[in-house]
């Protein structure tokens, strides 16, 4: 009897333990730590975490392991992680990076029931960037960017020039006359314009002069075209005339710092500079204005995305998090707090300030030809951009002519399109 | 019989056992990657593609690559001036500071040695603040006193001079310490004998110091040469290889070709050429300096 009681108690104990364990499995979801690779233009990582706070509270089993990498090293780090078979669960990527890693991205098509409905939620240019060659949608757009011009309004006012008025229809030759007056009227100001030391920002000017990187069907490089040559000559001219500081393109000095120090009257850069200047510029009034016209008006569209990679172990949770981050309310909040242009068609963002500056950048995007996005989406173009930048500098130094530089680029670039 | 076995173990197996960790580390992180790099140099390979054997095509392309030869010439010129000036400067510092006779000598040694403890990225960022055209401290002071500023980093020739100057500032302290150790190892009685014989200071330096310091100088020469051929971070931060190609060295070009142009095979071929050049220089340096070497 005693033995039977003991056996019964053991059985009961075992049964209870197994039942309890089963309940625990069902009640609490398995803990998941998502590895996230991120870079910052300003404060995006903080805003990302703040924006996703409600999601993480509602999903306590999801933890984020956020690795923030300097943008200069970002592409290399990501490429090494992918080629080493250890990609992050999700990563923030730019249009440039997207073109390089596009084949390694896990399509959203595999994780949603109606991908066409998802695509319709975003700006067409952003969808175009995030679509691979098989037509699969591979990344959630988080913010749209554009290149544009920010000017020191106080300096224009001192010269008695109403920059709002003149910038409505100005051409680059009119700009040159105006900017000389502005620099002359401001003794501490040395230059008229700083242009970021990147081929992307140079291409803003190039597109305005009807230049291109690639041929019509984008099957080969075609930097050697009249528009590009004209841009290069004009770019050298404004350097030689000291209208732009040589230290940016010849010495990689930071143009944003020069603008903030009041040394230049204008800056051609990305829309994220609105955020930077909003925080840092206190000594003068600044604003976004329409860029002068070359042959046409144009900006260069760009953007940032979040994406996951083929073969990552926490794909399901990664896609849930990305979908939540890209939904209307999160996208609006993130765009507002990072001072970025939202990537969604339905987003209604009221910025704490600078709303008019964003409108100017959006106006620039509206008149930008579609081929600009298609060129920057080209994987092979991204491989030759550093060489293009070097050749532009060679022209500025007078070591080669504009004609020689474009021929050099076509010669070297052709090997990437074979 | 037993004793002979023990002796053999001590003479053969024991040293090998002690060397084993180093051999494993050296093999894993140097030899295997080097062999792998050699193998890759005969392939066409991007990070996301499968390597394809193309024989000597990468090396043939290298011969006609104008940018490679520009960076090659820059590397030789940078190395020659950096190494020569580092040796002169480090030796001068060592001669001033090795005797422990000057007040505050140890503090000076530390002062000159500290830059070599900093990462080259930090050094580069600091010197950009100092030498920047528009935002640099030196040009600010020059302009404040009525001058027009100097294009330290944007003039093609001056940019290389600036880079060489900063490299010397950053590295000389390390070599100074090695040379101080070499100088302190020279027996003092030789100097006393020279003094009794009425030898002048320059004569003593040429006849005693230099010959007995030769092996230390050779070590400094080889180390400084290898370091100069591998210079990357400082230039990446200060000039990005510019203006144009003015300060771009082979290592920068290898990085660009491998990681930005995604041509790992071609970049490996460049690295192999760089490795051969460094090996050649090292062998020549040992041969020339070791001809009448006194290793005592």
SS3 per-residue string spanning chain A: CHHHHHHHHHHHHHHHHHHHHHHHHHHCCCCEEEEEEECCCCCHHHHHHHHCHHHHHHCCCEEEEEEECCHHHHHHHHHHHHHCCCCCCEEEEEHHHHHHHHHHECCHHHCCCCHHHHHCCECHHHHHHCECCCCCECCEEEEEEEEEEEEEHHHHHHCCCCHHHHCCCCEHHHHHHHHHHHHHHCCCCCECCEECCCHHHHHHHHHHCCCCCECCCCCCECCCCHHHHHHHHHHHHHHHCCCCCHHHHCCCCCHHHHHHCCCECEEEEECCHHHHHHHHCCCCCEEEECCCECCCCCCCEEEEEEECECCCCCHHHHHHHHHHHCCHHHHHHHHHHHCCEECECCCCCCCCCCHHHHHHHHHHHHCCCHHHHHHHHCHHHHHHHHHHHHHHHHHHHCCCCHHHHHHHHHHHHHHHHC
Least confident of A95-104, B27-36, B185-194, B281-290: B281-290
Tell me whether B192 touches chain A (CB under 8 Å): no
CA atoms within 13 A on the CB side of A234: 18
pLDDT value at residue B290: 65
Range 325-364 of A in CB contact (< 8 A) with B:
none
Least confident window among A254-263, B100-109, B224-233, B253-262 = B100-109
Summarize pLDDT for B41-67 with one digit per residue, the tens: 999 988 788 889 999 999 999 999 999
SS (H, E, C) B166-178: HHHHHHHHHHHHH
**How many beta-carbon pairs under 8 angstroms link A with B?**
82
Nearest beta carbon to residue A397 from set B135, B240, B244: B244
Indicate the pTM of the whole model: 0.83
Please name the residues in contact with A48: beta carbons below 8 A apart, sequence gap of 6 or more: A38, A66, A92, A325, A334
B261 touching chain A per CB within 8 A: yes
* Nearest CB neighbour to A251, from listed B47, B133, B259: B133
- Identify the pLDDT of residue A14: 60
Position B72 scores a pLDDT of 93
Closest Cα in chain A, distance from residue B32 (Å)? 17
Nearest to A394 among B47, B244, B260 (CB): B244
Residue with tokens 């949608």: A137
Rounded to 5°, the CA angle B278-B280-B283 comes to 110
Cα torsion angle, B1, B2, B4, B9, sign: positive
Q: For residue B137, what pLDDT band results from cuts at 50, 70 and 90?
A: very high
Q: What is the pLDDT along chain A (418 residues), one digit of tens a residue?
A: 566 666 666 665 565 554 444 444 445 678 899 999 999 887 888 889 888 889 899 999 999 999 999 988 898 899 889 988 899 999 999 988 888 898 899 999 999 999 999 999 998 888 888 988 888 999 999 998 899 999 999 999 999 999 999 999 999 999 999 999 999 999 999 999 999 999 999 999 999 999 999 999 889 999 999 999 999 999 999 999 999 999 999 998 999 999 999 999 999 999 989 988 988 999 999 999 999 999 999 999 888 999 999 989 899 999 999 999 999 999 999 998 888 888 888 888 888 888 899 889 988 988 888 889 889 888 889 899 999 999 999 999 999 999 999 999 999 999 888 7
Instruction: Say what the pLDDT of residue B291 is.
Output: 60
Q: Which member of B47, B159, B245 has the closest CB to residue A390?
A: B245
d(CA A176, CA A292): 10
As a whole number of angstroms, the distance between CA B150 and CA B136 comes to: 10
DSSP B132: -
Give pairs for B279-285: CB < 8 Å, separation 24+.
B281/B225, B281/B229, B282/B222, B282/B225, B282/B226, B285/B218, B285/B221, B285/B222, B285/B225
Find the range with the poorest average confidence among A32-41, B108-117, B283-292: B283-292
What pLDDT, on the 0 to 100 scale, is given for residue A352?
85
Of the partner residues A79, A252, A385, the one whose CB lies closest to the CB of residue B47? A79
Residue B296: what pLDDT?
Answer: 44
Q: Going by DSSP bridges, is the β-strand pair A194-195/A266-270 parallel, antiparallel, or unpaired?
A: parallel
> Is the pLDDT assigned to residue B2 strictly greater than 80?
no
Q: Dihedral angle at the C-alpha atoms of A220, A221, A222, A223, nearest 10 degrees?
A: 170
Q: Which is nearest to A269 in space by CA: A251, A285, A248?
A: A248
Residue A297 CA to residue A299 CA, distance in Å, equals: 7
Chain A (376-405) residues lying within 8 Å, Cβ to Cβ, of chain B: 383-387, 390, 393-394, 396-397, 399
Does the beta-carbon distance from A245 to B133 stay under 8 Å? yes
Which one, of A158, A110, A120, lies nearest residue A141 by Cα?
A120
Provide the shortest C-alpha distance from residue A61 to chain B (in Å): 34
Tokens of B229: 């051929």
Chain A nearest-CA distance from B133, in A, is: 6
What would the DSSP string read from start to end of B79-90?
HHHHHHHHHHHH
Question: Locate tokens 């007995």: which residue?
Answer: B212
Among candidates B134, B241, B262 on the partner chain, residue whose Cβ is nearest the Cβ of A247 = B134
CA dihedral (B269, B272, B273, B278) in degrees, to 10, reads 160
- For A194, A293, A325, B157, the CA distances from A245, given in Å and listed in that order, are 7, 21, 40, 19
Residue B6 banded pLDDT, cuts 50, 70, 90: low
Q: What is the pLDDT of residue B101?
A: 77
- In the structure encoding, which two tokens stand for residue A152, read together? 């020191």
Chain A interface disruption, residue of B62, B137, B148, B243, most A CBs within 10 A: B243
Q: Residue B62 and residue B38: Cα distance in Å, rounded? A: 15
Q: What is the pLDDT of residue A25?
A: 45
pLDDT exceeds 90 at position B99:
no
A250/B262 touch (CB, cutoff 8 Å), yes or no: no
Q: Which of residues 44-103 of B touch A (CB under 8 A)?
A: 47-48, 67
Q: Which residue, among B64, B151, B154, B249, would best test binding to A if mutated, counting the most A CBs under 10 Å from its CB? A: B154
Q: Return d(Cα A36, Cα A78) in angstroms, integer.
A: 11
Whether B214 shows a pLDDT value over 50: the answer reads yes
Residues 6+ away with beta carbon under 8 Å from B252: B71, B232, B235, B236, B241
Q: Does the pLDDT at position B124 exceed 80?
A: yes
Whether B259 and A397 lie within 8 Å, measured CB to CB:
no
Question: For residue B53, what is the enclosing H or E element?
Answer: strand B52-53
Q: Which positions 129-188 of B are in contact with A (Cβ < 8 Å)?
A: 132-135, 151, 153-154, 156, 159
Q: How far apart are CA B121 and CA A208, in angstroms?
A: 37
Most distant CA atoms of chain B, gap in Å: 88
Would you state the pLDDT for residue A15?
A: 54
In which element (H, E) is residue B43 found? strand B43-44
Looking at residue B44, what DSSP letter applies?
E
The 10 Å Cβ neighbour count of residue A291 is 24
Contact B208, B191 (CB under 8 A): yes
List all residues 6 or more positions away from B168 whose beta carbon is below 8 Å from its beta carbon: B82, B85, B86, B89
How far apart, in whole angstroms, are the C-alpha atoms of residue A82 and residue B82? 38
Q: Would the CB atoms of B244 and A246 count as touching at under 8 Å?
A: no
CB A256 within 8 A of CB A152: no
Q: State the pairing for strand pair A140-152/A266-270.
A: antiparallel
Q: Which residues of A touch B132 (CB under 8 A)?
A: 247, 251, 253
Q: For residue B242, list chain A residues with Cβ-Cβ distance below 8 A.
A: 250-252, 390, 393
- pLDDT for position A5: 60
State whether ipTM is beyond 0.85: no
What pLDDT sits at residue A340? 86
User: B106: distance to nearest CA of chain A, Å?
Assistant: 38
At residue A146, φ and ψ (nearest 5 deg) are -145, 155
Looking at every residue in chain B, the average pLDDT score rounds to 89
């Amino acid at each position: 009897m005693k033995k039977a009681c003991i056996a019964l108690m053991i059985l009961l104990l075992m049964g209870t333990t197994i039942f309890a364990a089963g309940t625990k499995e069902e009640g609490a979801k398995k803990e998941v730590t998502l590895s996230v690779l991120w870079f910052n233009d300003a404060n995006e990582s903080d805003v990302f975490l703040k924006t996703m706070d409600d999601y993480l509270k509602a999903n306590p089993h999801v933890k984020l392991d956020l690795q923030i990498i300097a943008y200069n090293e970002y592409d290399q780090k990501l490429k090494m992680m992918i080629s080493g078979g250890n990609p992050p669960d999700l990563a923030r990527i730019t249009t440039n990076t997207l073109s390089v890693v596009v084949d390694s991205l896990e399509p959203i098509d595999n994780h949603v029931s109606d991908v066409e409905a998802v695509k319709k939620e975003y700006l067409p240019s952003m969808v175009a960037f995030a679509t691979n060659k098989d037509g699969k949608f591979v990344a959630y757009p988080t913010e749209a960017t554009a290149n544009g011009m920010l000017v020191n309004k106080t300096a224009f006012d001192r010269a008695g020039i109403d920059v709002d008025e003149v910038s409505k229809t100005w051409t680059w030759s009119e700009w040159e006359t105006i900017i000389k007056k502005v620099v002359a009227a401001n003794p501490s100001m040395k230059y008229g314009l700083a242009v970021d030391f990147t081929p992307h920002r140079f291409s803003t000017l190039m597109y305005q002069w009807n230049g291109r990187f690639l041929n019509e069907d984008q099957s080969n490089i075609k930097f050697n075209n009249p528009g590009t040559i004209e841009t290069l000559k004009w770019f050298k001219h404004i350097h030689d005339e000291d209208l732009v500081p040589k230290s940016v393109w010849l010495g990689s000095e930071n143009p944003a710092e020069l603008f903030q120090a009041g040394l230049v009257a204008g800056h051609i850069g990305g829309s994220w500079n609105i955020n930077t200047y909003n925080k840092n510029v206190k000594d003068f009034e600044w604003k976004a204005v329409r860029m002068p016209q070359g042959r046409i008006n144009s900006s260069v569209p760009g953007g940032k995305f979040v994406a996951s990679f083929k073969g990552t172990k926490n794909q399901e949770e990664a896609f849930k998090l990305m979908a939540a981050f890209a939904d209307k309310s999160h996208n609006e909040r993130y765009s507002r707090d990072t001072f970025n242009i939202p990537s969604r068609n339905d987003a209604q963002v009221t910025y704490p300030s600078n709303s008019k500056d964003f409108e100017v950048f959006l106006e620039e995007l509206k008149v930008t030809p579609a081929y600009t996005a298609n060129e920057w989406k080209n994987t092979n173009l991204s491989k030759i951009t550093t060489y293009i930048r070097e050749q532009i500098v060679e022209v500025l130094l007078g070591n080669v002519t504009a004609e020689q530089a474009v021929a050099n680029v076509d010669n070297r670039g052709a090997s990437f399109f074979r | 019989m037993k004793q002979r076995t023990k002796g053999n173990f001590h003479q053969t197996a024991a040293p090998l056992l002690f060397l084993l960790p180093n051999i494993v580390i050296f093999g894993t992180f140097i030899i295997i990657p080097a062999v792998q790099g050699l193998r890759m140099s005969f392939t066409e390979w991007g990070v996301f593609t499968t390597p394809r054997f193309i024989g000597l095509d990468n090396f043939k392309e290298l011969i006609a690559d104008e940018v490679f030869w520009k960076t090659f010439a820059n590397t030789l010129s940078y190395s020659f001036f950096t190494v020569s000036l580092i040796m002169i400067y480090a030796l001068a510092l060592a001669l001033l500071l090795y005797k422990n006779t000057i007040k505050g000598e140890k503090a000076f040694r530390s002062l000159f040695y500290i830059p070599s403890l900093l990462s080259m990225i930090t050094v580069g960022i600091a010197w950009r603040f100092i030498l920047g055209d528009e935002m640099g401290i030196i040009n600010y002071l020059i302009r404040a006193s009525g001058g027009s500023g100097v294009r330290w980093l944007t003039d093609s020739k001056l940019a290389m001079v600036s880079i060489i100057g900063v490299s010397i500032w950053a590295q000389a302290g390390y070599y100074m310490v090695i040379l101080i150790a070499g100088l302190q190892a020279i027996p003092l009685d030789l100097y006393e004998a020279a003094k009794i014989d009425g030898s002048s200071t320059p004569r003593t330096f040429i006849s005693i110091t230099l010959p007995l310091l030769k092996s230390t100088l050779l070590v400094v020469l080889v180390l400084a040469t290898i370091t100069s051929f591998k210079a990357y971070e400082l230039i990446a931060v200060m000039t990005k290889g510019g203006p144009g190609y003015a300060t771009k060295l082979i290592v920068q070009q290898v990085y660009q070709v491998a990681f930005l142009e995604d041509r790992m095979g071609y970049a490996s071929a460049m690295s192999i050429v760089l490795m051969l050049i460094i090996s050649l220089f090292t062998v020549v340096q040992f041969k020339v300096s070791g001809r009448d070497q006194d290793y005592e």
